[in-house]
Amino acid sequence: MGSKKIRVLIVDDVAETRENVSKLLLLEDDIQVVGEAGNGEEAISLSRSLQPDVVLMDINMPVMDGITATEKLTMEMPQVGIIIMSVQGEQEYLRKAMMAGAREYLIKPPSGDDLVATIRRVYEVECKRRLSQGLPPDGAKTVREPGRVITVFSTKGGVGKSIFAVNLAVSLQQVSKRRVVLLDLDLQFGDVAMLLDLLPKRSIADLVSEMEHMDKDLVEAHLIEHDSGVRVLPAPLRPEYAEIITGRHIEAIINILKDNYDYIIVDTCQSFQDTILAALDASDLIYMLTTLDVPTIKNIKLGLDVMASLHYGSDRIKLILNRSTAEMGVSVRDLTGSVPYTVACQLPSEGKVVVGSINRGIPFVQSDPKSPISQAIFELAQQINNQFHPGKGEPAKQKTPWFSRSGR
Ligand SMILES: Nc1ncnc2c1ncn2[C@@H]1O[C@H](COP(=O)(O)OP(=O)(O)O)[C@@H](O)[C@H]1O
Ligand SMILES: [Mg+2]
């Protein structure tokens, strides 16, 4: 096992119980409590970010009970060993919990010795199981491709960057079932959180202020989860906080996110400041948003020239024509001149759907999935996923059919 500590997540709705269990584990060198959750739903979302080896799960909890959570966690993260904790006399529940995929159970309150021995046993069995299946010993760190960075950019404001970025993130999450994170780099006036009806307590500014200790866990702690499953790193809560953030910071944050997410969608503002350049540098794909009116076209043309001089190749840059209808009087050729930029997608103007969605804080791909603008974005999301993960469909989950869950 080497010197790796067993990462434990404690799940119980009673804070005192969590504290007591946590205290019992404090003295063990090989065990580390990585987090605490107050209900099943929290347990699932924390497990995704913290990747524990073992989850200590209470049964009766508000919001989502421990049996439902065990069932869901077992499906999604079979490498996590779940130990059910229940009070004397809940035999029927216990049976259900074991059926749902729990590996062991403890009667509350467990003695320190029992608790530690059970955690070690569950962890060892899991290690052996992985070994026997030829899987890497550490479930959380299976080899995976680094995430793809997709930046939504424009040299013009108000062309629809943010609504596009938000809807692209949500649709990509739905289409790919992969891990998607959305980064708001409109550092002064970012509105991604608002478009998703999220009320962030922490932002990228707080993350950057702790830069010396930046690691995966710290970044995760600053993300906020949307009900679609997309995680968001919000823009600073006040415009003046933007000043402390540099291109270096953005580079570091994106690098960490790439280890943990399949798609990193970046919303930007209309500027070539160093934070935006850092994102463009890191991008696998740059979506240049434009509308087809003469002032915007003039502006975008200049923007594309600058990007060419900064050596962003036309292979990485794709155009998105927003609010496009046939009778614009201007063509794409007017825009791109001799450089062969491809148009990835055309989005119709749909005031009612778009503005309704903005006002309600629900992305239109969720509120009006059948509308033409949503369909266009879903199609693009599918193309993106086909490009980066051809023929794979959904991400490969560790194959552990329920009937081979041996070793109890
Ligand atoms: N396809 C569209 N149909 C209707 N309205 C749109 C469309 N795209 C953008 N808008 C309008 O433009 C406004 C600006 O969009 P936004 O995403 O905030 O732009 P940016 O982020 O580029 O500044 C939105 O509030 C919305 O009212
Ligand atoms: Mg914007």
Domain hosting 108: range is: 6-142
Q: Is there a single domain that holds both residue 130 and residue 155?
A: no
Q: Is residue 117 part of a domain?
A: yes
| Same domain (yes/no): 26, 61 | yes
237 lies in some domain: yes
Cα of 3 vs centre of ligand 1, distance in Å, is: 52
Comparing CA positions, the residue from 216, 145, 223 lying closest to residue 181 is 223
pLDDT at res. 327: 60
Q: Is the peptide bond before 137 cis (omega within 30 degrees of 0)?
A: no
Q: Is residue 58 part of a domain?
A: yes
Residues 246 and 269 in one domain: yes
Same domain flag for 137 and 169: no
How many angstroms does the Cα of residue 214 sit away from the middle of ligand 1?
Answer: 34
Longest dimension (CA), the chain: 78
Q: Whole-angstrom Cα distance, residue 350 to residue 284?
A: 29
Cα 284 to ligand 1 centroid, rounded to whole Å? 24
pLDDT of the residue at 75: 86
Strands 31-37 and 6-11: parallel
Residue 132 and residue 155 in one domain: no
Burial classification of residue 111, based on how many CB atoms lie within 10 Å of its CB (0-12 exposed, 13-18 middle, 19 or more buried): exposed
Task: Among the bound ligands, name the one nearest to the CA of residue 358.
Answer: 1
Do 22 and 46 have their domain in common? yes
Neighbouring residues of 19: CB distance < 8 A, sequence distance ≥ 6: none
269 lines ligand 1 (CB under 6 A): no
263 C-alpha vs ligand 2 centroid, how far in Å?
19
User: Do residues 220 and 126 both lie within one domain?
Assistant: no
In this structure, is residue 277 part of a structural domain? yes
From 142, 173, 188, give the residue that closes a domain.
Answer: 142
**Domain CATH number, residue 270:** 3.40.50.300
pTM of this prediction? 0.66
Q: Whose CA is nearest to atom 26 of ligand 1?
A: 355
Q: What ligand 1 atom has the least distance to the C-alpha of 165? A: 17
Cβ of 323 closer than 6 Å to ligand 1, yes or no, is yes
CA 280 to chain CA centroid, nearest Å:
20
Domain boundary among 142, 158, 188: 142
The count of domains in the chain is 2
Q: Whose CA is nearest to atom 8 of ligand 1?
A: 160
Task: Read off the tokens for 381.
Answer: 């999301």
Answer yes or no: is the C-beta of 300 below 6 A from any ligand 1 atom: no
Q: Which numbered atom of ligand 1 lies nearest the CA of 289?
A: 22
The reply to whether 283 falls in a domain is yes
- Shared domain check, 123 and 235: no
Q: What are phi and psi of 232, to 5 degrees?
A: -130, 135
CATH number at residue 105: 3.40.50.2300
163 and 108 in a common domain: no
Whether 401 is covered by a domain: the verdict is no
Determine the Cα–Cα distance for residues 217 and 232; give it in Å rounded to an integer: 15
User: Cα(184)–Cα(236) distance, rounded to whole angstroms?
Assistant: 9
Any bridge partners for residue 57, and if so which?
11, 84
Confidence at residue 392, expressed as pLDDT on a 0 to 100 scale: 53
Query: How many Cα atoms within 13 Å fall on the side-chain side of residue 192?
Result: 38
What is the whole-number distance in angstroms between the Cα of residue 31 and the centre of ligand 1?
A: 50
For ligand 1, mutation pick of 159, 163, 328 (most atoms within 8 Å of CB): 163
Q: Are residues 247 and 124 in the same domain?
A: no
Cβ atoms < 10 Å from Cβ of 253: 26
Instruction: Check if 349 has its Cβ closer than 6 Å to any atom of ligand 1.
Output: yes
Distance from residue 287's CA to the centre of ligand 1 (Å): 15
Ligand nearest the Cα atom of residue 347: 1
Q: Is residue 225 part of a domain?
A: yes
- Domain assignment of residue 176, yes or no: yes
Per-residue pLDDT of the chain (408 residues; tens, 9 = 90+): 445 799 999 999 999 999 999 999 988 999 999 999 999 999 998 888 888 999 999 998 899 999 999 999 998 888 899 999 988 777 788 888 888 999 999 988 889 999 999 999 999 998 888 777 766 655 444 456 899 999 999 999 999 999 999 999 999 999 998 999 999 999 999 999 999 999 999 999 999 999 888 889 999 999 999 999 999 999 999 999 999 999 999 999 999 999 999 999 999 999 999 999 999 999 999 999 999 888 888 899 899 999 999 989 888 999 999 998 656 666 666 666 666 788 999 999 999 999 999 999 999 999 999 999 999 999 999 999 999 988 655 554 443 333 333 333
Judgement on whether residues 103 and 210 belong to the same structural domain of the protein: no
- Bridge partners of 232, per DSSP, are 182, 224
Structure tokens at 383: 């193309």
Tokens read off for 268? 């930007």
Q: How far is the CA of 155 from the centre of ligand 2 (A)?
A: 11
List CB-based neighbours of ion ligand 2 within 5 Å: 161-162, 186
pLDDT at 257: 96
> 11 pairs with which residues across the strands?
37, 57
